[in-house]
C-alpha cells in the first residue's frame, strides 16, 4: 500500500479555520451549499438532516451564537452563517428509531463542506455548543435532536482574533495512520 496516496484536492484542501469574515455569501451560493447536502445518501432515503441557519447581524445568528461554548463563540461570531444541524431520529415511513440519522446528518454536512470548499468558502464544525439550549431556542419538533454546530463563511484575518485563538490555525493538521483506520478482514488478525 502506498504510504500517502494522493486524494482529490477538494478533500485535501478542506480545513477548519477560526478566522472568518462576516462578508456576505450570496443567496445562490448559500442555496447551492444546502443543495449539496440535500443530495447526500441516507438510510431508506429518509434524509433525516435539517439545518437551522442564521445570517450575520440577525437574531437567528445571535440565537445560535448564544448556544456555543465561549471557546467557539469568540471566533464563530464573525462567520456570515451559523448553523445547528439537526437529526430527525425517527423514520417517517414506519415510526421506528433511525439509528443512522446522525451518520446521515454527517454525510450531508460533509457534502456541504466539500461544496463550500469548491466555492472558496470555509466550514468549521463544532461539538462545543449547548444542545439543550438549542432545543429550547430553535423550536425543534418532537424526535428532532441537535447534532452539531457549524460556521460557514469567507476567510477572515487571524490577526483580528486574540492571539491564543488565532494560534489554533497554526497547529499542524494530523491524522491517524491509514493502517490504524483501514482494517482489512477483522480487528486483531492479518487481512484476508
Ligand X SMILES: Cc1cc2nc3c(=O)[nH]c(=O)nc-3n(C[C@H](O)[C@H](O)[C@H](O)COP(=O)(O)O)c2cc1C
Tell me which of 37, 83, 126, 134 binds ligand X, using CB under 6 A.
126
Closer Cβ to ligand X, 130 or 135, answer by number = 130
Binding of ligand X by 127 (CB under 6 A): yes
Q: How far apart are CA 34 and CA 55, in angstroms?
A: 14
Find the part of the chain contacting ligand X (CB under 6 A) among 26-34, 58-66, 123-131, 176-184: 123-131
Contact between 72 and ligand X per CB under 6 A: yes
| Interface segment toward ligand X; rule CB under 6 A; list 26-34, 124-132, 158-166, 181-189 | 124-132
Q: How far is the CB of 88 from ligand X (least distance, A)?
A: 18
Distance of closest approach, residue 73 Cβ to ligand X, in angstroms: 10
- 105: helix, strand or coil: helix
Query: Rounded to 10 degrees, what is the CA torsion of 131, 121, 182, 100?
Result: 40
The number of residues that bind ligand X (CB under 6 A) is 9
Does residue 105 belong to the site contacting ligand X (CB under 6 A)? no
In the chain, % helix, strand, coil (3-state, to 5) comes to: 40, 20, 40
The torsion defined by the Cα of 164, 156, 64 and 142, in degrees rounded to 10, comes to -110
Q: Among residues 173 and 176, whose Cβ is nearest to ligand X?
A: 173
Residue closer to ligand X (CB basis): 72 or 98: 72
CA–CA distance from 145 to each of 18, 86, 133 (Å)? Answer: 26, 5, 11
Q: Does 173 bind ligand X (CB under 6 A)?
A: yes
* Listed ranges 26-34, 56-64, 122-130, 137-145: which one lies at the site for ligand X (CB under 6 A): 122-130
Query: Whose CB is nearest to ligand X?
Result: 128
Q: Give the Cα separation of 100 and 68 in Å (integer).
A: 25
Q: What distances in angstroms separate CA 132 from CA 27, 98, 129, one per listed residue?
A: 30, 21, 9
96/173 with CB nearer ligand X: 173
Amino acid at each position: 500500500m502506498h504510504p500517502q496516496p494522493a486524494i482529490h484536492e477538494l478533500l485535501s484542501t478542506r480545513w477548519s479555520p477560526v478566522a472568518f469574515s462576516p462578508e456576505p455569501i450570496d443567496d445562490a451560493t448559500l442555496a447551492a451549499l444546502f443543495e449539496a447536502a440535500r443530495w447526500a445518501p441516507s438510510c431508506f432515503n429518509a434524509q433525516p438532516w435539517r439545518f437551522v441557519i442564521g445570517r450575520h447581524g440577525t437574531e437567528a445568528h445571535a440565537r445560535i451564537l448564544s448556544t456555543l461554548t465561549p471557546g467557539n463563540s469568540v471566533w464563530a461570531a464573525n462567520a456570515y452563517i451559523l448553523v445547528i444541524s439537526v437529526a430527525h431520529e425517527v423514520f417517517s415511513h414506519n415510526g421506528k428509531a433511525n439509528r443512522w440519522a446522525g451518520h446521515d446528518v454527517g454525510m450531508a454536512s460533509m457534502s456541504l463542506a466539500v461544496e463550500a470548499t469548491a466555492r472558496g468558502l470555509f466550514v468549521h464544525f463544532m461539538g462545543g455548543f449547548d444542545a439543550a439550549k438549542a432545543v429550547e431556542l430553535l423550536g425543534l419538533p418532537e424526535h428532532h435532536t441537535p447534532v452539531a454546530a457549524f460556521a460557514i463563511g469567507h476567510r477572515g484575518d487571524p490577526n483580528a482574533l486574540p492571539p491564543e485563538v488565532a494560534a489554533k490555525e497554526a497547529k499542524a493538521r494530523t491524522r491517524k495512520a491509514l493502517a490504524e483506520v483501514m482494517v482489512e478482514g477483522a480487528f486483531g488478525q492479518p487481512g484476508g
